[in-house]
Amino acid sequence: MDRPKLVAIITGALALALGIGYLVLVQLLDFRTFEPAPTEETPPARSGPSTP
pTM as predicted: 0.57
- In the DSSP assignment, the letter for residue 39 is G
Confidence (pLDDT) at 36? 80
Of 41, 22, 38, give the one whose Cα is nearest residue 30. Answer: 22
Q: Is 40 helix (H, G, I), strand (E, B) or coil?
A: helix
Q: What is the pLDDT of residues 3-45, one digit of tens each?
A: 999 999 999 999 999 999 999 999 999 888 888 877 776 666 7
- The answer on pLDDT for 51 being more than 70 is no
φ and ψ of 3, to 5 deg = -60, -45
